[in-house]
Amino acid sequence: MAQGGRFAKEIGKHTEGAVEKASPWIERFARVGYAAHGTVYALVGVLALRAASGAGETTNQEGALRWVLLAPAGKLLLGAIVLGLLGYALWRLFQGLLDPENEGTDVKGIAKRLDHGLNGLFHASLAFGGGMLVLGASAGGGGGSPDDWTARLMAQPFGRWLTVVVGSVIVGIGLFQFYKAYKADFRDELKLGEMSAREDTWATRAGRLGYAARGVVLGVIGAFLVQAALQTEPDKALGLGGALRTLARQPFGPYVLGAVAAGLVSYGAFMFVMARYRKIKPT
């Protein structure tokens, strides 16, 4: 036992040393990652704004990456975004696994770290799909459409009720986005002392609007996932693009979609603030 304890301590020391040496790169990855994450959300929001005005269709994150290819030097731009998304994925996985911000091992801390890890895996998948697009291949990193993975989940033992739980959790995360928008506690993550009063004001407004828009979208996604499970109809499950299309079909749909789209653009802008001013503690 004593030898095992000493061995674990040695491993811990080596890990801490490696992280300390890599910390400047980890911070760079994180900051570039926030910018790429914001770019994708801003693009989804811009395309949704165009759809609200009748000039196009809504799309999800992968669709936004496909749209980048249509721009001049599209492959070069998409390649830069893909690298940024990889950086964001690495940072989120680093947060989840090594807990550099001391979120702890209580229920709240574990929930946050699990969210970081899942976020990292999603963006790694998104980056892989974007990389395939750069190479001229079909994007295959998304793991299938929402109804595909919902059907796979529901096919597992107790899968129907597990899907209800997952949908309920997503609704809960959506409600938490509204709480963040109201409390504006995201400001605690920023280096406010380096920001001017004007920057602080506009960053807070963008963050509040952005998190509220995410709350709406996540609420719709979670609610439809629960409905898909209860009715045993996986094809009712929605992703981001489907949630935006659903909003567009509601009464006053173009106005509702336009408001949420503006919020997604604001969220993207706020991620650029995070890229510049977020407190990042790699060690």
Q: Tell me the C-alpha distance between 122 and 170, whole Å.
A: 15
**Phi and psi at residue 33, to the nearest 5°:** -65, -45
Answer whether residue 143 shows pLDDT above 90: no
266-283 pLDDT, tens per residue? 999 999 999 999 999 876
Mean pLDDT over the full length of the chain: 88
In this predicted structure, what is the pLDDT of residue 144?
Answer: 63
Answer whether residue 35 shows pLDDT above 80: yes
Confidence band, pLDDT 50/70/90 cuts, at residue 15: very low
In this predicted structure, what is the pLDDT of residue 155?
Answer: 85
In this predicted structure, what is the pLDDT of residue 153?
Answer: 83
Q: Give the predicted TM-score (pTM) of the model.
A: 0.87
In this predicted structure, what is the pLDDT of residue 282?
Answer: 75
Answer whether residue 13 shows pLDDT above 80: no
Distances, alpha carbon 101 to alpha carbons 86, 185, 189, in Å: 20, 16, 11
With vertex at residue 52, the alpha carbon angle to CA 49 and CA 58, rounded to the nearest 5 degrees, is 70
User: If you average pLDDT over residues 88-93, what whole number do you get?
Assistant: 95
Return the structure tokens found at 208: 């509040």
